[in-house]
Amino acid sequence: MYSRTYKAAVAIPPLAWVTGFLLVPYALLFAYSFWQVEAQQVVHHWNLGNYRELFHNPMYLEVLFRSMKIAGAVTALALLLGYPLAYYLSFCSRKKELLYQLVIVPLWVSYLVRAYAWKTILGSDGVLNTLLQYVHVVHHPVESLLYSPFAVVLTLTHIYTPFAFLPIYASLEHIPRRLVEASEDLGATPARTFARVILPLSLPGVLAGATFAFVLSLGDFLAPLLLGGPSGIMISNVVVSLFGAAYNWPLGAAISLSMLVLVVVLLSIVQRAERKLSFG
């Protein structure tokens, strides 16, 4: 029903823009990762040196591994907090609309500011330490709270739990209630109904939530800078320093591109798993 002109008019402008401002930049990132720096200048000398450096220097692999561990911990915690909350809202609460909004509201406080609030809480003169001293649980401030991977995991969990919650809640809401009723009418205990009906049907949401939490926290660099200290450095912090003071854009590009590939591969695995779950 749509004419050729109509189709061209709606397809060409976004195609052109996305090519110019997304495809070309990602291609540049790709190209840079094969160049190198000589005498403080980026030279277009194509080689695999950056990737060799990345996979042979234990420092980079260690930081990458740590970032994946932190992202993994954040994902697990976000699911542990987000799933029961979503389940409660969807199946047990009578004020789910209101509570749903209450989960969204923290997202409206700036990311940076929430990270900063955790710094206020965890610092050695912070709320938690002075509170603990005030009620005489400890006599000296617990120094290890801030500037540690723990602080990073806690903050990122706080930030990404709503992201994990949203798709899980959506998938729970889509479960036909008559399936749950049928299971109960046929004599299944609530635990069995949960394990055999509700949980399997909500897995696509769990997968989507886990992906969001993992990918977003994997690439984070602000929480580690604010709260991580030297032991909480993540892979994006390395990239930031390579693009700043260390001035090695090609190596930074190689690390970014590896991250991009990791994310894209993860996404396609998740998509395939999701398709299998919804058909099987």
Nearer to another protein by Cβ, of 55 and 116: the residue is 116
Which of 76, 91, 199, 274 touches another protein by CB under 8 A?
91
Are 183 and 196 within 8 A, CB to CB?
Answer: yes
Q: How far is the CB of 120 from another protein (least distance, A)?
A: 4
Closest CA to 114 of 219, 131, 122: 122
- Of 70, 152, 207, 218, the residue at the interface with another protein (CB under 8 A) is 218
CA–CA gap between residue 32 and residue 247 (Å, rounded): 13
DSSP output for 206-225: HHHHHHHHHHHHHT--HHII
Residues facing 41 on adjacent strands: 38
Residue from 76, 121, 188, 199 binding another protein (CB under 8 A): 121
15, 48, 138, 195: residue in contact with another protein (rule CB under 8 A): 15
CA-CA distance, 241 to 263, in Å (whole number)?
21
Q: What's the half-sphere exposure (Cβ side, CA atoms, 13 Å) at 50?
A: 28
Q: At 43, which amino acid appears?
A: V
- Pick the binder of another protein from 51, 55, 76, 114 (CB under 8 A): 114
Question: Which residues, numbered 239-278, are part of the site for another protein (CB under 8 A)?
Answer: 239-240, 243, 249, 252-253, 256, 259-260, 263, 267
* Binding status of residue 100 toward another protein by CB under 8 A: no
Within residues 32-71, the interface with another protein by CB under 8 A covers 32
Closest CA to 56 of 257, 265, 251: 251
Q: How far is the CB of 144 from another protein (least distance, A)?
A: 18
Judged by CB under 8 A, which of 47, 130, 231, 278 binds another protein? 130
Binding to another protein in span 143-202, by CB under 8 A: 158, 161-162, 177, 180-181, 184, 189-191
Residue 268 CB, shortest distance to another protein, in Å, is 10
113 touches another protein (CB under 8 A): yes
212 interacts with another protein by CB under 8 A: yes
